[in-house]
Amino acid sequence: MYQISEMVDRNDRVPMMTGRTRRSTIGPTPAGGNSKQANGSKQSSAGEKTPSHPSHSNGKVKKEKQVHEPVRTPQERSKICERLSCHVLQESLLSSASGYSNYRGILNWCVVMLVLSNARLFLENLLKYGILVDPIQVVSLFLKDPYSWPAPCLVIVSNVFIMAALYTERRLSVGTISETTGTFLYLVNLTTLLCFPSATVLTLTSMTPAGGVFALGVYTILFMKLYSYKDVNMWCREIRHTKARTLTRSHSCPSVAQSNGSAVHSHVSYPGNLTHRDIYYFVFAPTLCYELNFPRSPRIRKSFLLRRLFEMLFFIQLLIGLVQQWIVPTIQNSMKPFQDMDFSRMMERMLKLAVPNHLIWLIFFYWFFHSSMNFVAELMQFGDREFYRDWWNSETVTYFWSNWNIPVHKWCLRHFYKPIMRRGVNKWVAQTAVFLVSAFFHEYLVSVPLKMFRLWAFMGMMSQIPLAWFVGRFLRGNHGNAAVWISLIIGQPVAVLMYVHDYYVIHYMSQS
């Protein structure tokens, strides 16, 4: 391209230089000049035609070229080159070698296609079944008898276990009981915390499955919170006894003085944290890990609070409507293929359930982890709002489980994984133990409210171990991310259909 530009400049410069030479050569001789001047002029002219010193004359020509050639700007040269050349060495945009990564338009197209396809399915559902949304039916999911409220009563009883943990810590702080006795009391308290609600749910006939899930969910969260409460206070006593350092931090729930909309916090050290106000702040805070100090936001943002409240009310209504209108008819139509063991129809029912089930799961994630937890955090001025990370970019299964539920991940890492690693346990064994505990609680929250034990949730969680190994070993990048999404979209409908089928067979087929 540079040679083309030089050629163009040379062709443009030659006529101008030639014209200048002619004017200097055949110019008239001035009148009245002597013969020596005339002869000199002739010799000079003759010298230009047949120079006696070629090097000297070439120097003159070069000098005239340098003086009289036009100067072109880079813009002018580039315009000339563009007219002469229009191709460069480059890859196609969709090739991996091109390095192109802006697929925003394609993403928008996918969203539009997803909306249109689901709108067609929703319209088909309305034409086939009519409007099935019934808010009154939601109340019946939690209450069989309007005068019997077993689930809320069971939640109120949980205060007994909170008080037991607080007074055990107070006795331990003053040395009234030994560490061994305190560990035994905690063992009894936490074991009863898991066994008592499950026994109540299995015994009471007035307890509905939805009410049982709600009550056991509260008790499971409380179990993890009180376990963290025990560990942190034990660590504080160890520091105090060894006198390694002084633990002085901000109070986790101080008396707040308002000053121009900002909170002024006091400080506390162990055992000044063993108060009713402190433990109940921790019980209601959107975290599972206890601290003597929690990061606090300076004030409550009313506009932020109202937005989260609106999202909570809107999305819970949307979830209920989608379940009643979309999930329930699909599941009801899936019972006959499961009874007949028609595998092709079973697969078709599972794929049909996958789309609405996954959509509801995504809405639930936003409703719970973003709207609800941010609402509670803002109301309590809880500063740490990292309730999730970018799990949607997960390229491995382990990355997904480490980032989609940060409160549970922090608890497992702080109170289970790292303690057993410090005891010399192998890393792979420690990870398997974490999945084992998670599988137990998943099964606990499903089988006990349904009053049947099929271990589908337990096996689903344990199957994540070989899946995590396979994806981490053989799939990377976009392929790994696609594998994670497929496991989420397909895996959940399989478990849902298994439990619904078994529940239908036990409670309806036996009665008929």
Q: Which residues are catalytic?
A: 442
* Cβ atoms < 10 Å from Cβ of 218: 16
User: Tokens 């969260």 correspond to what residue?
Assistant: 221
Q: Kindly give the interhelix angle for 135-142 and 209-242, rounded to the nearest 10 degrees.
A: 60
Instruction: Show Cβ contacts of residue 239 under 8 Å, excluding neighbours closer than 6 positions.
Output: 245, 247, 270
User: Tokens 């409460």 correspond to what residue?
Assistant: 229
Q: Strand 262-264 and strand 267-268: pairing?
A: unpaired
Q: Strand 262-264 and strand 257-259: pairing?
A: antiparallel
Q: Which residues pair with 258 in a beta bridge?
A: 263
d(CA 34, CA 29): 11
Q: Using only C-alpha atoms, what is the Rg of the chain? A: 40
How far is CA 116 from its chain centroid?
25
Q: Which residues pair with 259 in a beta bridge?
A: 262
Per DSSP, the three-state class of 75 is helix
Query: Using CA atoms in the order 468, 473, 474, 475, what is the torsion angle rounded to 10 degrees?
Result: 60
Nearest to 163 by CA among 133, 193, 142, 141: 193
d(CA 262, CA 278): 20
